[in-house]
C-alpha cells in the first residue's frame, strides 16, 4: 500500500466541532503550480501556522524546502535529475510522508486548495465534491498553466485523505463584483453572457492585503487603494473600501502586466498574424504566450527570475526590466483614473516584497499623483516606504495566500461547528 493510502486509512473523517477541537488536529493548505506544490500546515483551532514548504521542479530536477515557525525544522533536499517526484500525486505523497515523520500522529481534518479559476459559478470558497471537480475541469482552457495542476493537487489530496473535507478557494472570487465596464470586452453581448469576460486573478493575495489594511490602515482601506502583486505572475488591482473594482488581468492569466514567462497585454492582431501568416497552431501559440514570453522572452531567454535579471547587467536583461517597470507605471495611471484618485499604493508578491530597486523605479516620477518615496525606508524594506510629505501612502506588505486559504477552509469545512 502507498504511503498516501496508509495515511488515509489512519485519518477518520471529522465531524463538526469535534474534529476541529481534537488535540493536535491540523489543517493542510495546498497551492499546486505547473511544476510545484506549496504546502502549509496550520493548527485547526487557530489557525496558527506550524510548517510551510514546497516541492519545486516536479518531473525534472526536484527540490524540497520546508521550515517550521518555531525554528525546530529547517530542511532542504534536492533530487538528482529525474529521480524526484514525477507528478503532483507523487509529490504530495512525499510531502504527507515527510509531515507524518516530522509530526507524529498527523491528524489532518481539512484540506484547503488554491484554485485559480472559479468561472461564473464560484464567487466564494466551496466544499469540493465530484460535481465541483468536473465543473472546474471545464475551465482548464482559461488557465492552462494553473487549473490542471490545481485539480491534480485536489485529486491527490482526495486520494490521500479520503473523506476529510476539502475546500476550493478561488483566485477569481475577489473580483466578481466588478462594475460592468470593468468586467466586459467590446464583443457581442452573447459572448459576455456565455462567460467571455474579465475575471481577474491573484484574488486570495488581494483579499489578504485588504484584510491587513483594515487592521492597520483603516482610514486608507476605506478610500482608493492600488495593490501591485508582482511576482512570476503579476497583476494590479484597484480597490475601494477593500473591494476590487478593476484589475489588470482579464479573461485569462495572460492579460495585463508582463510576467515571468507570460506576455501580458497583447494586440489580438498578433495572434491572427501568427496563425494566418506564420502557420502556428493553437498549442504552439499557447506555449509561446505562456512559457516563452514575458521577462524570459524579453531577456533573450536568459531568465524569468527578476533576481537573475537584476544581477545580469546585459542589455537584454535591462530592457526586460525597463519594459516591466514601464507597464506597471502605465497601469498605475489607468487604475488611478478608474478610482478617480489615489490614497495608497501597496507592493506585494515575490518581486514587490523583495526588490527595492523595482519599487523605486516604479514610483520614480510619480509626484504628479502625489507620491514621494522615502529611499532609506524603501531600501530597508519597511512597511511604510513613502516620505512624510507624500500625499499617497506607499506600503510594502508581504502577502499570505496560504493564510487566506486556511481561514476560508475553516469557515466552509466546519460551518456551524463552533457550537
Active site residues: 171
Which cell is 34 given?
A: 505547473
**Hey, is 394 helix, strand or coil?**
strand
Cα 360–chain centre separation: 23
Q: Is the omega angle on the peptide bond into residue 47 within 30 degrees of 0, that is, cis?
A: yes
**Hey, is 183 helix, strand or coil?**
coil
Query: 70: which residues sit within 8 A by CB, 6+ positions away?
Result: 50
Distance in angstroms (rounded) separating the CA atoms of residues 164 and 8: 9
- Report angle CA 167, 171, 175 to the nearest 5 degrees: 120
Query: 101: which residues sit within 8 A by CB, 6+ positions away?
Result: none
Query: What is the SS3 string spanning 203-255?
Result: HHHHHHHHHHHHHHCHHHHCCEEEEEECCCCCEEEEEECCEEEEECCCCCCCC
| Cβ count near 302 (within 10 Å) | 17
User: What separation in angstroms does the CA of 260 have from each of 30, 47, 182, 224, 310?
Assistant: 22, 32, 25, 28, 13
With left for phi above 0 and alpha for psi between -120 and 50, is residue 341 left, alpha or beta?
Answer: left
Distance in angstroms (rounded) separating the CA atoms of residues 239 and 233: 19
Edge-to-edge strands of the sheet including 393-396? 243-247, 235-240, 224-229, 344-348, 393-396
**226 within 8 A of 261, measured Cβ to Cβ:** no
**169 within 8 A of 404, measured Cβ to Cβ:** yes
Nearest to 243 by CA among 191, 283, 207: 207
Distance in angstroms (rounded) separating the CA atoms of residues 197 and 59: 34
Nearest to 115 by CA among 408, 413, 414, 417: 408
Amino acid at each position: 500500500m502507498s504511503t498516501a493510502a496508509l495515511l488515509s486509512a489512519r485519518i477518520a473523517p471529522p465531524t463538526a466541532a469535534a474534529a476541529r477541537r481534537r488535540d493536535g488536529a491540523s489543517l493542510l493548505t495546498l497551492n499546486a503550480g505547473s511544476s510545484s506544490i506549496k504546502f502549509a500546515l496550520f493548527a485547526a483551532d487557530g489557525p496558527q501556522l506550524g510548517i510551510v514548504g514546497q516541492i519545486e521542479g516536479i518531473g525534472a530536477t526536484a527540490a524540497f524546502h520546508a521550515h517550521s515557525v518555531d525554528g525546530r525544522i529547517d530542511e532542504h533536499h534536492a533530487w538528482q535529475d529525474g529521480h524526484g517526484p514525477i507528478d503532483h500525486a507523487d509529490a504530495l505523497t512525499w510531502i504527507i510522508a515527510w509531515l507524518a515523520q516530522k509530526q507524529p500522529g498527523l491528524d489532518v481534518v481539512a484540506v484547503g486548495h488554491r484554485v485559480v479559476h472559479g468561472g461564473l459559478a464560484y464567487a466564494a470558497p466551496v466544499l469540493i465534491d465530484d460535481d465541483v471537480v468536473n465543473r472546474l475541469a471545464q475551465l482548464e482552457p482559461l488557465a492552462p498553466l494553473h487549473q490542471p495542476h490545481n485539480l491534480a493537487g485536489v485529486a491527490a489530496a482526495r486520494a490521500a485523505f479520503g473523506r476529510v473535507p476539502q475546500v476550493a478557494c478561488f483566485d477569481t472570487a475577489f473580483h466578481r463584483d466588478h462594475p460592468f465596464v470593468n468586467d466586459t470586452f467590446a464583443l457581442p453581448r452573447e459572448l459576455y453572457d456565455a462567460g467571455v469576460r474579465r475575471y481577474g486573478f491573484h484574488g486570495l493575495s488581494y483579499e489578504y492585503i485588504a484584510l491587513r489594511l483594515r487592521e492597520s490602515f483603516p482610514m486608507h482601506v476605506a478610500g482608493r487603494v492600488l495593490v501591485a502583486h508582482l511576482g512570476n505572475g503579476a497583476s494590479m488591482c484597484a480597490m475601494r473600501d477593500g473591494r476590487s473594482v478593476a484589475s489588470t488581468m482579464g479573461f485569462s492569466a495572460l492579460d495585463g502586466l508582463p510576467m515571468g514567462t507570460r506576455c501580458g497585454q497583447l494586440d489580438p492582431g498578433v495572434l491572427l498574424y501568427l496563425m494566418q501568416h506564420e502557420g502556428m497552431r493553437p498549442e504552439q501559440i499557447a506555449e509561446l504566450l505562456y512559457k516563452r514570453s514575458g521577462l524570459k522572452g524579453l531577456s533573450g531567454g536568459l531568465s524569468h527570475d527578476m533576481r537573475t535579471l537584476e544581477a545580469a547587467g546585459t542589455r537584454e536583461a535591462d530592457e526586460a526590466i525597463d519594459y516591466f517597470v514601464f507597464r506597471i507605471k502605465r497601469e498605475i495611471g489607468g487604475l488611478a483614473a478608474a478610482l478617480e484618485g489615489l490614497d495608497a499604493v501597496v507592493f506585494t508578491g515575490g518581486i514587490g516584497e523583495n526588490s527595492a530597486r523595482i519599487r523605486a523605479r516604479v514610483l520614480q516620477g510619480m509626484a504628479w499623483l502625489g507620491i514621494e518615496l522615502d529611499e532609506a525606508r524603501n531600501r530597508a524594506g519597511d512597511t511604510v516606504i513613502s516620505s512624510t510629505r507624500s500625499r499617497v501612502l506607499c506600503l510594502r506588505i508581504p502577502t499570505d495566500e496560504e493564510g487566506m486559504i486556511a481561514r476560508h477552509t475553516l469557515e466552509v469545512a466546519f460551518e456551524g461547528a463552533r457550537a
